[in-house]
Structure 1
């Protein structure tokens, strides 16, 4: 009994380093971010339906018309994630020596969703009542996803106390609020391990709902604002650009298996809320803003925006592919630093420019989206500002982790690649 207890303590050591200023920061963010999401949606589209009485959303008799569609959406996607065909891949080796298997079936999920949308368009002669409902109740559904994230994070927190569970190194502080927010269990799974909650939430219900919210805005602008005769050119562009980004992420989901969210972070309210609420209801603000616009932006301005996104995507995609190919042993000619851990740190090609050159590409993409709204309001630029802060935070976390992991080898790496994100600037 004593040996088992000691081995468990070694595998799941107590968290001593706190992020976001610890319990105070976790509490603040758990309250502020949901309120901010609701507030900014009401500011972007004045007059949006919103029941301010929070009890309303807990009363099933009153809010069932909001809960049922969302639960059907989430559960259907979860079932499809389990039953649709896909290829199985092994994730990164965990500190207990195990490698989890992940089913990669983004292509099947995406194809089925697009088929259903095309069928509904045909059957409803373009009326699409589901999209009209989503547009009218956008902010109210955002509240539903906030509450669902709260329930899901609580479920995963309770589940993490099952004996033998591998915990996240950053979420085992012993403080309920902090661990609930950060995420206590590293890889919460259901159905005998067939359903991985964290990977599913990263790419399915939130990302695809973001796509649907944008479609609802495009549909409203076309059907209501322009009477089925026209659609705002900037709105069409932002819908196409973000749809490309969404499906590029969903179809290349295997890339997530080596990212920090999957490898090191626990699944708590921070990730649940981020995936299920923050992504669909704040990343879509540009489309929400443009959904009521009647005037067009013009081909020359839109061409510049497309060019900026193309440059950002080229940097982001080619840099990530280069690192992925290197890890798979395909680019042995590239310069690297051999570490004492037996791995190599790539410091050639894109990765000789900065330590996180892919972050720069990703941020340029975010800026291109915001530019579609012009300069009439700063609110639509929230995403690019927030994303810059997020990337800086991730870079700091990654640097601290790598310094601890590689020691002197990391010092040599930073000497060769001194810039963190933006070459010759930062």
Structure 2
């Protein structure tokens, strides 16, 4: 059966899906009230008007951003790669052009800075943080409804005959509207050459995060003084975004693309949560400038570099092992015939790369000092996300490897943080 009915439900089923669908948008709306162009205001009043939700200029800006990127994405050249083999034996083709698109945007923005006295788009982003946050939330809701409805229409042959059954996500086909809308019913929603999931995963939200940070830096520049903390957060997070775009092809083998459907969970996460919660540090620093000094800057850079070293070297070690380059390293043979690496980085924890990624996020938070716990939201949220991923992976591997997985966990008992967890 190509599309079996989903029996297991994550996030405590419909109740959890509803709680997340309402709770997280409310949270980043609160962030929009606390961190905005008027300053850092933890004692905010919940005072939202119709114009905040449906601000014409904000909607025009966001739609121009989203659909403009979509149009540019279609014409910017890139390389074409095959994805994983799907349940029906087919492979989707993906266009990998994120780095070309990012360079195009930066060249355009750099040219404007050189020739124009000001950059109105950066000022607009900074001045309309709350309105753009609300637009992003509503847009992600609408997109999730659109792809859910689209999942019920079969694929069409070129002659217009309904033939191909769409591949649904194994985790989003319960028959319950709310849960399937949240998890994502269709595995790979596409319109013509546009893969909606891959596009949203990397481009509109991630690149908006970059420009939000730049808008905060630009605001300090207009006010006459750019602090070292603002420069540092733009460098640290800018490099993280650059690194993610540079490794775009790795997305086509990640669980988000290969396993998860595209529903509200990913739509909201990609388009709203990422840009408007990951940018909290820059938004705080623009409202409450912090001068770090050389020693603290070097210390924060050291934490970030350590995180990158652990993250990239551990991933490279596993990749080389899988390709047969490190056969001398100790491994555990499973009942399926595959080998699980239990040496080098991977004897320290089952997901040592997650620990490196978390350290990178910690370095961002440290740029704000210890003035408010709100700028440390990312490391708490990300820790929860990583633990959830680890639990999903543990369940999947337990089912796949059986007793071999039990032995693996005996030899590598720590899940993420060596000697701690």
Q: If the length of structure 2 is used for normalisation, what is the TM-score?
A: 0.92
Alignment of 1:13-412 (within 5 A): 13-45=4-36, 47=38, 52-54=48-50, 57-58=53-54, 63-125=55-117, 127-163=118-154, 164-191=165-192, 194-224=193-223, 227=224, 230-412=225-407
Q: How many Å apart are 1:323 and its aligned residue?
A: 2.0
Q: How many Å apart are 1:347 and its aligned residue?
A: 2.2
**SS class of match (2:85):** coil
Quick one: structure 1 residues 295 and 387, their matched pair in 2 at CA, closer, same or farther if it must change by over 3 Å?
closer
Q: How many Å apart are 1:339 and its aligned residue?
A: 3.3
Q: Distance in 2 between matches of 1:349 and 1:95?
A: 34
Q: Distance in 1 between matches of 2:59 and 2:188?
A: 27
Once the two structures are superposed, residues 49-79 of structure 1 have per-residue CA deviations (whole angstroms, 9 ceiling, x without a partner) of 9982347635xxxx33111211111112222
Once the two structures are superposed, residues 113-147 of structure 1 have per-residue CA deviations (whole angstroms, 9 ceiling, x without a partner) of 1101101111223x211100000001110111111
Once the two structures are superposed, residues 359-417 of structure 1 have per-residue CA deviations (whole angstroms, 9 ceiling, x without a partner) of 00011111111111111111111111111111111111111111112222222322222
Quick one: structure 1 residues 280 and 158, their matched pair in 2 at CA, closer, same or farther if it must change by over 3 Å?
same
For residue 2 of structure 2, what is the aligned residue in structure 1?
11
Q: Distance in 2 between matches of 1:106 and 1:134?
A: 22
Q: Distance in 1 between matches of 2:169 and 2:100?
A: 31
Preserved contact between residue 52 and residue 134 of structure 2 (Cα < 8 Å): no
Q: How many Å apart are 1:340 and its aligned residue?
A: 3.6
Once the two structures are superposed, residues 30-65 of structure 1 have per-residue CA deviations (whole angstroms, 9 ceiling, x without a partner) of 11111110102322347379982347635xxxx331
Q: Distance in 1 between matches of 2:374 and 2:268?
A: 21
Q: Distance in 2 between matches of 1:35 and 1:23?
A: 18
The range that moved more, 243-252 or 66-75, is 66-75
**SS class of match (1:100):** strand
Preserved contact between residue 233 and residue 297 of structure 1 (Cα < 8 Å): yes
Once the two structures are superposed, residues 198-253 of structure 1 have per-residue CA deviations (whole angstroms, 9 ceiling, x without a partner) of 111111011100000000000001112xx2xx311111101110000001001101
Q: How many Å apart are 1:28 and its aligned residue?
A: 1.2
Preserved contact between residue 398 and residue 406 of structure 2 (Cα < 8 Å): yes
RMSD: 1.8
Q: Distance in 2 between matches of 1:398 and 1:201?
A: 24
Quick one: structure 1 residues 203 and 295, their matched pair in 2 at CA, closer, same or farther if it must change by over 3 Å?
closer
Q: Distance in 1 between matches of 2:329 and 2:398?
A: 22
Preserved contact between residue 51 and residue 140 of structure 1 (Cα < 8 Å): no
Q: Distance in 2 between matches of 1:13 and 1:295?
A: 54
Q: How many Å apart are 1:90 and its aligned residue?
A: 1.8
Preserved contact between residue 41 and residue 282 of structure 1 (Cα < 8 Å): no
Q: Distance in 1 between matches of 2:317 and 2:50?
A: 48
For residue 3 of structure 1, what is the aligned residue in structure 2?
none
Preserved contact between residue 290 and residue 369 of structure 2 (Cα < 8 Å): no
Q: Distance in 1 between matches of 2:138 and 2:289?
A: 35
Preserved contact between residue 44 and residue 379 of structure 1 (Cα < 8 Å): no
Preserved contact between residue 36 and residue 130 of structure 2 (Cα < 8 Å): no
Preserved contact between residue 171 and residue 182 of structure 1 (Cα < 8 Å): yes
Q: How many Å apart are 1:418 and its aligned residue?
A: 1.5
Q: Distance in 1 between matches of 2:322 and 2:91?
A: 17
Preserved contact between residue 37 and residue 126 of structure 2 (Cα < 8 Å): no
Preserved contact between residue 84 and residue 109 of structure 1 (Cα < 8 Å): yes
Preserved contact between residue 52 and residue 130 of structure 2 (Cα < 8 Å): no
Preserved contact between residue 36 and residue 126 of structure 2 (Cα < 8 Å): no
Quick one: structure 1 residues 106 and 328, their matched pair in 2 at CA, closer, same or farther if it must change by over 3 Å?
farther
For residue 159 of structure 2, what is the aligned residue in structure 1?
none
